[in-house]
Structures are given as C-alpha cells and as structure tokens.
C-alpha cells in the first residue's frame, strides 16, 4: 500500500466508500483546520473492493462525530494517540443534526425565515430517514 | 405550555377528553359563555382563509373572550419583512393564545418555539391543518358514537388532499378501521400512504366507481376534484361528474351512513342531497367551532373543572 506518514495524535477514518472522501473532507470542514490531512483514494480493501481513507492529525476532541455518523455510520473511526490506535469508535445515526444540510423544500419556512437553523430529525432509524423538523420533508440525499 | 401543531400531538386518550369537553360545550353552551372572559385570541393569518379564521373567532367569542389579529400578510408587518419569530414575540405581549395560518410549512412551529403563549397551527401550506382533522374526528365520534369499527370511504382527490391524508393518520390509531379509496386513476392515494397502511396491517381497497362500494360504507368523506389537477379540460369534465354524489348514488348507501366534506364544496355533492339526514357537512362546520372552543380552553388551562365551578 501507498505509504503515508504515521500520525501521532488524531484520527484515521477507514472504510469510507470509494470516491466519497473529498465530500467528507468538506462536511467535516477539514479545510478550515490548520492541521495535516492525508486523503487516500481507492485503497484496496478486504472488506470492500475499494475504499477511501482520511488521516487527520489533530486534537481528538476536534471532530464532530455526529456529522460523520449522519453522512455514513459504517465508517470506522480509529482514534490515534502516541502513534497507536487507542480506540475504535462506533458511529451511530444522530437523532438530530443542525445546519449540516439545508431543507430543499421551497414551501418550507426555512426558505424565508432569517436566522433559523436547518434541523433534520431521525424519524425512521431502520430506513435511516431524516426529515426537516419544520416541514417534515424527507432528506433525499445524505451527501 | 402546550401548542397544537399536528393532530397527532395529542394521545388518543387526551383526544377523548378534548371531545368530551367539546360535547359538553355543545350541550351546555351557557356554562362556558364566560370562561374566557378577559382573555384574547390573536388570529395571525398570513394568507386569507376566511372560514377557518371566523371559526376560531366564533369559538373565542362563544367563550366570552375577545379576538384581534390580521387576515392576510399584506396588511401585516410580514409585508415589511418581519420574521415569524419576531411577530410571535410581539403578539405574545398582546394576546393569551394565537391561531396562526401561514403559506410556509412549519411556520407555526417556528412561532411556537419563540412564543410565550400557546400557538395553534391553523394551517401551514400543504403540511398540516390539525383543527380540520380534529373537527372531522369530533363529527364522526359525536354522530357515530365511536371512532373504531368503521368502514370509511374517501372519495375524490386522494393524491393531493392534505385533509384526507391527515385524517387517515389520525384514524389509524383506532381499532378495526377499514378504508376504501375511491378516486380516478390520476388522483390515486400516494404509495407512501398505502405503504404506511400495509406496514400497520390496516385494510384498504382502491375503487374507481363510488357506486361499486357505497353500500358497504359507514362514512363517506367527499373532497373536491380541482380543475387545476388535470392536464386537459376533457378529463376534468368527465371525472367531476363521475364523482358527483347525487340522490341516485346515495340511494344505494346504508341508512346510517354519514357524508362528510371539509367545505367549501363546488359541485361534488349535488344540493339535492343536502336535506338528506345523512348529509352532515354543515353540522361538521358547527363541530368545528366546538372543537376550537374545547381546544382554546384546554390550551389555556381552563378546562372541565373550572367550567363546572362557574355554573
Ligand atoms: Zn423544511
């Protein structure tokens, strides 16, 4: 495998669906962080044919795992300290997400009310359905 | 403090209490004639809906309270660009309870989040119109004596009809309900509704002709078939008469079948049916006032006990 430098403290996000790493990079707002980020695309995987990996060198409290859980809760989150994996976090679907996605329903109050947060609520955990808190419109595409 | 955003906000048990109160108000109007004295209802209507607004105002006046408000956005501060959040904070200073109608879905919920007085959703776009649904339930319960063990026919525009979808969601909480969906192919019940019924194991059938099933119904809920739902005038003209309820079709129905309609009707029920004892759509409008009276008292915390103390 391609060799990317080891990180001392941070995260390795593994088993990202191939091709989706850049989108996650943006949703986690890693572009706004002043830290080392490595994105590996199309790595070979035993579990999935191809996968993406993101390595982030940062304080372990800096990542919003709710957003990650919302985007794809099958991603493996490895927490790294002193160059070693100290924890594998299980992601779950957050009950509510705020200002991650916008409601696209033009008839929704979020389209005109200023300063209103866009909130989506998990209404069906089995089918992984999120709905706008205000108009109940289904979120069609997670990311 | 409680608000009313959706008909499902209340449990079926809470609804029983609300309906009992509404029926008591119907029987003993004088007992409740002063219960809201000194209280004010604000009707904040960002789009005109004269019928709903007058029903709310009549309800508050029947309770001895007073009303204030606006009846469309152009005559209000909304025209100057004020947000719903700001408006409700101001209205909270003027009134004790608010009924809000808004073309944008979820607007009353935004108001409820910022309000220091109870907010009633009086219709938010194509989303919810809980007082209509509660009116329907009260009418059925009052005139049938039950909300369970019913075969219910819903006829007309089942595709876009917010009223019928909302009523179905409310009725599936009761036992032994069976639905017959009577509509043209073009206006069939959407699949997300029928899927929901299948998941809950609730029986339903889809029928094209009203005559084919009217004899099995305990209740027939008629809705408007609107011209703008059709691609061409021919289809509209053909289908509007197809779904017209007249004396001839009604002659096939049970003697105790009820005919409901959210009103206004256009031509889907012939006026010759109006005098039939089974036609209860005008009584339904009367129940609309009683349910709003019961709701206002309940949300203001002025219920049963105090009503009893007054007399
Ligand atoms: Zn929305």
The domains located in chain A, with CATH, are: 10-90 (3.30.70.140), 96-132 (no CATH)
Residue A90's pLDDT is 86
Q: How confident is the model at residue A2 (pLDDT cuts 50, 70, 90)?
A: low
Domain boundaries, chain B: 7-128+288-300, 131-285
Select the residue of A107, A114, A134 nearest B83 (Cβ to Cβ): A114
Q: Is A110 on the interface with B (CB under 8 A)?
A: yes
Same fold flag, B7-128+288-300 and B131-285: yes
Contact criterion met (CB < 8 Å) for A133 and B109: yes
Q: Is A113 on the interface with B (CB under 8 A)?
A: yes
d(CA A117, CA A109): 11
Q: Is A135 on the interface with B (CB under 8 A)?
A: yes
Question: Tokens at residue A22, please?
Answer: 């850049």
Contact criterion met (CB < 8 Å) for A107 and B126: yes
Closest CA to A136 of B116, B114, B3, B108: B108
A135, A136, A140: best to mutate for the B interface, most B CBs within 10 A: A135
Could you tell me the pTM of the whole model? 0.89
Rounded to the nearest angstrom, the distance between the alpha carbon of A20 and the centre of ligand 1 is 26
Is ipTM strictly over 0.85?
yes
The domain defined by B131-285 carries CATH number 3.40.50.1370: yes
Per residue in A44-88, pLDDT (tens digit) is 888 778 999 999 998 877 778 888 898 888 899 999 999 899 999
Rounded to the nearest angstrom, the distance between the alpha carbon of B206 and the centre of ligand 1 is 31
Question: Tokens at residue A52, please?
Answer: 């993406």
Residue B305's pLDDT is 54
Q: Is A114 on the interface with B (CB under 8 A)?
A: yes
One digit per residue, pLDDT tens: chain B, 311 residues?
999 999 999 999 999 999 999 999 999 999 999 999 999 999 999 999 999 999 999 999 999 999 999 998 887 777 677 899 999 999 999 999 999 999 999 999 999 999 999 999 999 998 999 999 999 999 999 999 999 999 999 999 999 888 999 999 999 999 999 999 999 888 999 999 999 999 999 999 999 999 999 999 999 999 988 777 777 888 888 777 778 899 999 999 999 999 999 998 888 999 999 999 999 999 999 999 999 999 999 999 997 554 444 33
Question: Tokens at residue A74, please?
Answer: 């099958």
User: Residue A32: pLDDT above 80?
Assistant: yes
Place of tokens 């947060």: A117
Residue A4's pLDDT is 67
- Beta partners for residue B102, in sequence order: B124
Question: Tokens at residue B182, please?
Answer: 């009577």
Q: What is the mean pLDDT of chain A?
A: 89
Place of tokens 């609520």: A121
- Other C-beta atoms closer than 10 Å to the C-beta of B164 total 27
Residue B205 DSSP SS3:
strand
Select the residue of B103, B110, B125 nearest A113 (Cβ to Cβ): B110
CA distances A69 to A56, A66, A118, A132, B77, Å, are 17, 5, 17, 17, 41
Place of tokens 């919003």: A64
What's the whole-number mean pLDDT along residues A28-39? 88
Per residue in A89-98, pLDDT (tens digit) is 889 999 999 9
- Beta partners for residue B49, in sequence order: none
What is the DSSP-derived secondary structure letter of residue A98?
E
Question: Tokens at residue B219, please?
Answer: 């209740």
Min Cα–Cα distance to chain B from A95, Å = 19
Place of tokens 């033009």: A106
Nearest residue on chain B to A133, alpha-carbon basis: B106
Select the residue of B84, B85, B104 nearest A107 (Cβ to Cβ): B104
Closest CA to B12 of B175, B183, B243, B191: B175
Contact criterion met (CB < 8 Å) for B109 and A109: yes
Chain B residues contacting A via beta carbons under 8 Å: 83-85, 102-107, 109-110, 124-127
Residues with CB under 5 A from ligand 1 (ion): A 103, 105, 108, 132, 134-135, 137
By the 8 A CB rule, do B124 and B102 touch?
yes
What is the DSSP-derived secondary structure letter of residue B305?
H
Residue A48's pLDDT is 77
Residue B311's pLDDT is 36
Residue B26's pLDDT is 97
* Sign of the torsion formed by the C-alpha atoms of B82, B87, B93 and B94: positive
Contact criterion met (CB < 8 Å) for A133 and B83: no
By the 8 A CB rule, do A53 and A16 touch?
yes
d(CA A34, CA B190): 50
By the 8 A CB rule, do A49 and A62 touch?
no
Residue A1's pLDDT is 52
CA distances B231 to B87, B228, B234, B236, B242, Å, are 40, 8, 9, 8, 17
d(CA A72, CA A54): 14
By the 8 A CB rule, do B53 and B81 touch?
no
By the 8 A CB rule, do B230 and B239 touch?
yes
Residue B64, φ and ψ in degrees, nearest 5: 85, 5
Place of tokens 């003993």: B28
Residue B306's pLDDT is 45
Strand A76-81 to strand A10-17: parallel, antiparallel, or no bridges (unpaired)?
Answer: antiparallel
A109, A111, A121: best to mutate for the B interface, most B CBs within 10 A: A109
By the 8 A CB rule, do B251 and B288 touch?
no
Q: What is the CA radius of gyration of chain B?
A: 20
By the 8 A CB rule, do B268 and B224 touch?
yes
Min Cα–Cα distance to chain B from A74, Å = 27
Residue B8's pLDDT is 96
Contact criterion met (CB < 8 Å) for B127 and A135: yes
Q: What is the CA radius of gyration of chain A?
A: 17
- Beta partners for residue A76, in sequence order: A14
B3, B105, B196: best to mutate for the A interface, most A CBs within 10 A: B105
Residue B309's pLDDT is 40
d(CA B280, CA B60): 24
d(CA B107, CA B120): 11
The domain defined by B7-128+288-300 carries CATH number 3.40.1710.10: no
């Amino acid at each position: 495998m391609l060799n990317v430098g080891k990180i001392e403290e941070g995260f390795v996000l593994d088993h990202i669906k191939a091709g989706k790493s850049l989108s996650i990079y943006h949703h986690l707002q890693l572009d706004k962080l002043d830290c080392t980020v490595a994105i590996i695309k199309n790595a070979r995987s035993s579990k999935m044919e191809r996968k993406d990996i993101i390595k982030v060198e940062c304080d372990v409290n800096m990542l919003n795992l709710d957003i990650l859980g919302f985007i794809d809760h099958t991603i493996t989150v490895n927490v790294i300290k002193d160059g070693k994996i100290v924890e594998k976090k299980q992601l779950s679907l957050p009950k509510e997400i705020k200002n991650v996605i916008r409601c696209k329903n033009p008839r929704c109050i979020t389209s005109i009310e200023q300063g209103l947060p866009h909130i989506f609520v998990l209404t069906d955990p089995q089918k992984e359905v999120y709905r706008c808190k205000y108009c109940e419109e289904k979120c069609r595409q997670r990311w | 403090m409680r608000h009313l955003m959706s008909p499902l906000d209340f449990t079926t048990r809470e609804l029983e209490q609300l309906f009992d109160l509404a029926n008591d108000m119907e029987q003993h109007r004088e007992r409740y004639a002063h219960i809201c004295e000194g209280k004010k209802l604000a009707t904040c209507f960002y789009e005109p809906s004269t019928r709903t607004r007058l029903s709310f105002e009549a309800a508050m006046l029947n309770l001895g309270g007073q009303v204030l408000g606006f009846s469309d956005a152009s005559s209000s501060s909304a025209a100057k660009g004020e947000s719903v959040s700001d408006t409700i904070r101001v209205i909270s200073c003027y009134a004790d309870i608010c009924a809000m109608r808004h073309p944008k879905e979820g607007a009353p919920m935004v108001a409820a989040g910022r309000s220091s007085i109870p907010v009633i959703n009086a219709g938010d776009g194509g989303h919810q119109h809980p007082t209509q649904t509660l009116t329907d339930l009260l009418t059925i319960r009052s005139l049938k004596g039950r909300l369970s063990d019913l075969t219910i026919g819903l006829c007309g525009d089942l595709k876009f009809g917010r009223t019928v979808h909302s009523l179905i969601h409310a009725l599936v909480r009761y036992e032994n309900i069976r639905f017959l969906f009577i509509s043209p192919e073009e206006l069939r019940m959407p699949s997300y509704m029928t899927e929901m019924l299948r998941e809950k194991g609730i029986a339903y059938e889809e029928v094209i002709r009203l005559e084919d099933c009217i004899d099995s119904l305990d209740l027939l809920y008629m809705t408007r078939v609107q011209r703008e739902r059709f691609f061409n005038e021919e289809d509209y003209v053909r289908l509007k008469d197809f779904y017209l309820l007249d004396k001839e079709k009604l002659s096939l129905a049970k003697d105790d079948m009820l005919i409901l309609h959210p009103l206004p009707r256009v031509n889907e029920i012939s006026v010759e049916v109006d005098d039939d004892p089974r036609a209860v759509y005008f009584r339904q409008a009367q129940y609309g006032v009683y349910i709003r009276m019961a709701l206002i008292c309940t949300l203001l915390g002025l219920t049963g006990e105090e009503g009893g103390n007054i007399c």
